[in-house]
Structure 1
């Protein structure tokens, strides 16, 4: 029997939250408002009068800082601190947040210490200033972007954070060809895709970026979790001692190692907690930043929690058991499988925790299969030696009838029963349902059409589509052959993108469905194998497993716009994307739908308003509906088992953990979470 009760509750929660998200929402102010400042001042003055032992203070600090030799808290929170609204209540200082990770870079915790210049709002409805004191400003022609940081920001060791740190990153790291681990990011190129833009640093708080064409997207790219801001976050006063340009005895290899703030205790940081202790492969200890630049509405310097202890647990079953036993105070990604919800619910009372309602994966396709529109057989592609069979397979994969047949041959409802035990909704590939691109009624209608396109299980229609593509059984052996009559086997590269168990079970279901309509299938198990990356990066696969989720297609465009090739950008057009990102030195020139999509992205990033850019997104989605599918999706928007101890407060009842861009739960202000002592 389907276990849809929890899913129904989650969906209703999401629906109501999205309705709220479409309208005005409460968000942190860029700097203390007059009312907030007056309230904080009055509260501080009253406390000082009662104590009669210290001068009036506008702000307050955690007790653990009282014994430290530090400047007054008023001097440490910056001249223009961000005021963060609390979810439930003003918190208590203290406590240790026990949690876990399975990435050697403490990856899922880096999604918690989320403090870029511009940040996602907690309700996912858009952006707001973070380290910046106000939103960026554009020149009249849209080619120059000016960003202004809060005055008085300091690194965790008390040294000023200024644009000199960004200048060090740009001139001594990004533009330095000897620093191979930190190069010019993809967004910092002009329209040709290869020439770096111009950056200027006129004073301590002003950062100016100059492009050769209008560019209204770039600042929001920095809001992408920890992906895009992390490479820029360079404390020059600390790193210069390891940089060969400033220390003749230093090496670039040493600089690479010391620049890893998640592995270097004492590395100055700008986040709520900074690394104090690191045991490779075992644990991390992060402690509060005494110079953190955020306060609550009563003038209390954040964070509330003193320390974060993270243990390394690679085995998912062990993480699940630890979570069920109440070992973690907050666990956002200890398990990502909604089928674990019933088990965790049974253990909640004994473990003194609860499953926080309203947290979703945000998946647009989980599981999904990317169809390679640029299939070829050789890593070093040479069109003069390419086999006729490889060309024919690529043409078949590019045939819309063939791809539609692959989609309607899939029995999504059956797959959901087998893989998700009912905890999902059948749909085709999309991005995250919570995306603000589709918040309007017109946008939601288009999103619904996209999700439903070619998603109805119909094996007879699948066979008709295959017949129309010339993909028929030419020799009577029961298997469909290439249009030339040559035998064909559809190879599905099996990885663990979206979870090993999910991929294995989903591939078996899909294989059975395809074989039922005459498609011979081979599952190429590449879990844990180098060939998974090699075949994906170089466009050597036919189909491959995927998990698709994203909120903003301008800042994380790869799911729709083929702008990059190998690595993170590998999707349905790996070679045509590589051509775009390399300025024509790699890959193949774009044509057909890929060219349309690249042109739409170039057009959209030059438009100054959200409304104009959303309409470009809708045009791109229309390409996917009318000329796709390019990715096969089976299900989406599953609930996520977020486990919170009962003495933890201020965790919101809505969140989206699948997409990388918003850095969840970081966008929900973990610095205002607190532990009741």
Structure 2
């Protein structure tokens, strides 16, 4: 998911060296380096064949420290007999945080953080605790998570995940693979609950994997076709948060599930969701470094140290260092900005709270007062704030015009992105037609840099005369002499620039929208700013009633494991009905309601035109997902990009890889700088969750 004003009322919506063996692909037990050395490639010295197409840092196992430590707070509880010793609370082999920039920290203290929503959303981006695998090195490497090691058969159709032995939930109860199977069998495969099939649980043919648990620590995933990208998909997102659940505490939640308790009632899912939500229910067990202590709806949440967190520092001290996190809800944009500029918080992640580059100058003037250190991390964005049409718009004539590449290309040529770059991004970043960002793995190797430039520059030139000529050729001309162009049949043509009504008034979206309207009006295309109630925004879009979206941006860590902008895969992006159709592949619903009008199906969904660009993209994507050779896989991805060059742009970007504001209070340690991350940061992509990927559990007060 793409973090354009991600928590400013509008949630906008992806990084890696992996050992590949001819017969076995083994996951490293721990990863030493977190900043790449020069001219290194992946390897662990275990004899596995290395996939040299995936260049990154050298991966070496980190030994588990012989001595274990814990916070004084927990040590007192151990001494009082109310908590087991630290060695009994940690797994047999805890995860050792590998980042090179880390200092040995001090226990204690509190972190004050701003939030824009009901503190049920932003906190999840701070926690990587439920994820089987995790990204490090700004997405260029995969590290173990709850899964200690992993391997596949030679054909990449059977993957075996070995979870750490001795893991415990925050209430002290053992974590076992029953918790994965509870999520899989009783939620994902349960049609009454309809959790949804995560992408990592589908093969390249779209069929659902068979998931089994031969013992308490092993999960086996069996696919009907090669699934070589499974580790990348498992590292994406934060599991049991913004991505797939992947596990739930069965010992706790089974009391609210009809399979285990017949007395839960017909509307059991509502209560189940309430009890499941670890961001609002302090009793819900977690595997994160902090667990919820207090929740005040619409006001705040407080998180306390999880005594059973399964991660240690390089000296063997159990994390986190900080005692508590406190999120404060400040819904009003200007009030929130004022509090930030007054130094009210200890860490401010700009993408979450609507901070923009316009805040940099006043923040620099106030450093003596606020005690902030101001960092500008690379966003990694491929588009900046962008615009895209609904390719499945309900009105046939407008839909036909939207699907005409020359129409969208003309509008792209009419967009003066330099104005946006100056006004919104303060002359930073790269002007772009719109695509994936320059830090996307496949765009950094082989033909990748060249392909990135072709995509970026394809329709980026500001040429209003060419735009007008192309529109004239389409018959989109001013037929009635009012100065505005009409549809080819003479009907009225107005493009609504739709955005959620609660978008930040001075945010990137609205600034860009005003400029976009100005540029399109100048060539005779009537447009209007159209705030849509947030409550109905997505439903309206998925039903084909919204004509455009203007508040998103595109970025990803790896194209092969996140093709959601390359093609429709779900109903929130540029072809919602076709995306909904794709998302139901392999389910019983795929073959249902085919004789019903696509807009009246439940959910609304439609197949792509045979032989059309989306059908071709789907066909190539199926090959990408099963291709085990990284070089051949990249070649298939370039073919998909070429369809965008020929039939696009499917989304119109503005500025790529602009900086993002991050504020760190003086004295807060182990928050990396842009230089320390090794790749300048990658903060705009939900698939590479930030700050979770930088392990806030290691932060401490000097």
Q: Which residue in the other structure is 1:306 paired with? A: 323
> Judging changes above 3 Å, is the alpha-carbon distance between structure 1 residues 393 and 249 closer, same or farther for their aligned structure 2 residues?
closer
Q: Which residue in the other structure is 1:143 paired with? A: 157
- Any idea what the Cα deviations from partners look like across 1:617-667, whole Å, max 9, x if unmatched? 222222112221111112232211111011011111133221110111111
Structure 1 Cα separation of the partners of residues 208 and 644 of structure 2: 32
2:541 pairs with 1:523 = no
How far the C-alpha of 1:190 sits from its partner, in A, is: 5.6
How far the C-alpha of 1:446 sits from its partner, in A, is: 1.4
How far the C-alpha of 1:587 sits from its partner, in A, is: 2.3
> Judging changes above 3 Å, is the alpha-carbon distance between structure 1 residues 120 and 611 closer, same or farther for their aligned structure 2 residues?
farther
2:96 pairs with 1:83 = yes
2:196 pairs with 1:176 = no
Q: Which residue in the other structure is 1:268 paired with? A: 285
Q: How many equivalent pairs are there? A: 616
How far the C-alpha of 1:287 sits from its partner, in A, is: 1.3
Q: Which residue in the other structure is 1:616 paired with? A: 636
* Structure 1 stretches lacking a partner, 5+ long: 1-16, 42-57, 378-390
SS at match of 1:366: coil
Q: Which residue in the other structure is 2:655 paired with? A: 635
Where does structure 1 differ by over 4 angstroms across 4 or more consecutive aligned residues?
17-30, 189-193, 227-230, 496-500
Q: Which residue in the other structure is 1:375 paired with? A: 393
Which residue of 594, 597, 605 corresponds with 2:617? 597
8 Å Cα contact 1:366-1:546 kept in structure 2: no
Which residue of 362, 387, 411 corresponds with 2:380? 362
Structure 1 Cα separation of the partners of residues 144 and 607 of structure 2: 38
Structure 2 Cα separation of the partners of residues 320 and 351 of structure 1: 13
- Any idea what the Cα deviations from partners look like across 1:84-136, whole Å, max 9, x if unmatched? 135241111111111122222532221111131011114221322111112x3
Which residue of 138, 143, 158 corresponds with 1:128? 143
> Judging changes above 3 Å, is the alpha-carbon distance between structure 1 residues 20 and 409 closer, same or farther for their aligned structure 2 residues?
farther
Q: Provide TM-score, normalisation by structure 1.
A: 0.85
* Structure 2 stretches lacking a partner, 5+ long: 1-33, 42-55, 593-603, 675-680
Q: Which has the higher helix share?
A: 1
> Judging changes above 3 Å, is the alpha-carbon distance between structure 1 residues 229 and 75 closer, same or farther for their aligned structure 2 residues?
farther
8 Å Cα contact 2:438-2:444 kept in structure 1: no
Q: Which residue in the other structure is 2:221 paired with? A: 209
Q: Which residue in the other structure is 2:626 paired with? A: 606
Matches for 1:221-620 after TM superposition, within 5 Å: 221-226=233-238, 227=241, 231-251=245-265, 252=268, 253-332=270-349, 333-357=352-376, 359-377=377-395, 391-440=396-445, 442-495=447-500, 499-501=504-506, 502-526=508-532, 528-551=533-556, 552-565=558-571, 570-583=572-585, 584=590, 585=592, 587-591=605-609, 592-620=612-640
Structure 1 Cα separation of the partners of residues 325 and 249 of structure 2: 22
How far the C-alpha of 1:18 sits from its partner, in A, is: 10
Deviates more, 1:540-549 or 1:75-84: 540-549
Root-mean-square deviation (CA), in Å?
2.5
8 Å Cα contact 1:438-1:447 kept in structure 2: yes
Structure 2 Cα separation of the partners of residues 274 and 610 of structure 1: 40
- Any idea what the Cα deviations from partners look like across 1:504-523, whole Å, max 9, x if unmatched? 23222212211211212233
- Any idea what the Cα deviations from partners look like across 1:359-389, whole Å, max 9, x if unmatched? 1333222221112222223xxxxxxxxxxxx
Structure 1 Cα separation of the partners of residues 407 and 424 of structure 2: 25
SS at match of 2:621: helix
Q: Provide TM-score, normalisation by structure 2.
A: 0.83
Structure 2 Cα separation of the partners of residues 19 and 26 of structure 1: 4
- Any idea what the Cα deviations from partners look like across 1:552-601, whole Å, max 9, x if unmatched? 33443221121222xxxx22222222222234445222131111111121
